[in-house]
Amino acid sequence: MALSSNLFKADRALEACAVDNSAHLTLGATGEHVGKVQFALFELDGLIIDRSELAAQKYGKSTAAAVLSYKTKRQIINRSYQKSPDAIVGKMTIASLDDEMKVNERRFEQPGDCLLSPSGAPTFANTFGASSSNLFQQTLSLNNAGVGKTAAPKQLGGFVRVFFATTLRSAIEDGYPLSAHIERARDCLFEHGITLSVEVRNGFADTIRMSAPIINSFVSVADNVDELRKMSEDLRPGLPGVLRVIVCQMVGDKFGETFRNRRLGPRPVPPFILLNSQQKALDHATLIHEMIHASKNGPVAHDDEKNSVFFKDGKSKPGEIDQTLLKAEHAATLATMSSRL
């Protein structure tokens, strides 16, 4: 029996599990296929698994307990030799998980802000509250009062806290120039008196063991952004006030995307950023571009100025204009973003 959910299909270990008794998942198993089963158990039933097992993608005691809970709820029992469920993922269990995930995947997710924010797009509904909007209006008033004058940007103060993670595949295959993007963002913020604080805990960036490319689309049911976000949360939970940025391989030609209104189980998570390791902006402005998206109340129109870091297209060819300008209205929302995450 071939598996058909986007989460499970084409995974050799899980396909084997579906047809071969010797390939069943039991205590001690490790690998990305175990991680997929762990994600499905959380996504379908909200089952909690020890973080150490999630990070290691290991079929440990808490994973086994979650499997037993899932099977007990559905009375998945091989009645030819059993009277009660066990804690093994065998043919019947993987088939049940696959069927339920296939239904679950038909729920369309909201795509990223860049996809929703072409030039001239309307501003979407507020999700952060009124404080950033008020600061934006105050900054516009200050700028308008100085029309025709050349002056240094207003020193807003404040700081932006950021934490980074990268998928193992993007780190090995793509060599994304993350440090250059951080320096571009830091320089842009510094001109407005804003400090960029990179959170470092046991290393510069977490490594997420996910090999599948990330799909984000209006029409595709194969969206796996939530799976990646869950894996990042398993490695580094919480992080209030910190903007989470994940470098990964993404399907399509976008340099990056900002996601909002996403959930981990029943819980909504703050805006977070994905940077596409396969698309490298020559002026390294993708990070600050997506940070601007994350600082807003919802998707907003991109700037028309080609030298703005919030221009709709990143610099992809030599000879194109470098994007180095951080406009005052964007600096205003960035200055207070960490207090709203």
Burial pattern 23-49, b for ≥16 Cβ within 10 A else e, equals bbbeeebebbbbbbbbbbbbbbeebeb
What was the pLDDT predicted at 198?
A: 94
pLDDT, position 129: 39
Per-residue model confidence as pLDDT tens digits over 121-160: 444 444 443 333 343 344 344 444 444 444 778 999 999 9
Name beta bridge partners: 257: 274
Chain-centroid distance of CA 233 in Å reads 10
Task: List the CATH code of the domain at 113-340.
Answer: 3.40.390.10
Torsion of CA 39, 43, 44, 50, to 10 degrees: 50
Express each pLDDT in 235-264 by its tens digit: 999 889 999 999 999 998 899 999 998 988
pTM of the model: 0.83
Domain spans, the chain: 12-104, 113-340
Residues contacting 175, CB < 8 A, separation 6+: none
pLDDT the model gives residue 293: 97
Question: What are the residue ranges in the chain where pLDDT is below 70?
Answer: 1, 119-150, 217-220
